[in-house]
């Protein structure tokens, strides 16, 4: 199993801050999609991408 190095992608914030930012962004995506169920994983993964690309501006 591949080991993911979270430190390099989240160097400007702690793991907790990163998780909180992803949680918030995933919920925003859920609301923007009209609160459609069944998209939780897709929203979460998209949120991770967005937060990482923003250098985790927590």
Domain boundaries, given as residue ranges, for the chain: 13-53
In this prediction, residue 56 carries a pLDDT of: 56
In this prediction, residue 7 carries a pLDDT of: 47
Low-confidence ranges of the chain (pLDDT < 50): 1-10
Residue-level length of the chain: 58
Q: What is the DSSP string of the chain?
A: -PPP-HHHHTTTS-HHHHHHHHHHHHHHHHHHTTS-TT-HHHHHHHHHHHHHHTT---
In this prediction, residue 4 carries a pLDDT of: 47
């Amino acid at each position: 199993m591949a080991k993911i190095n979270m430190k390099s992608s989240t160097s400007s914030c702690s793991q907790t801050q990163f998780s909180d930012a992803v949680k918030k962004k995933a919920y925003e995506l859920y609301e923007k999609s009209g609160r459609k169920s069944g998209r939780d994983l897709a929203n979460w993964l998209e949120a991770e991408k967005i937060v990482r690309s923003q250098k985790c501006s927590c």
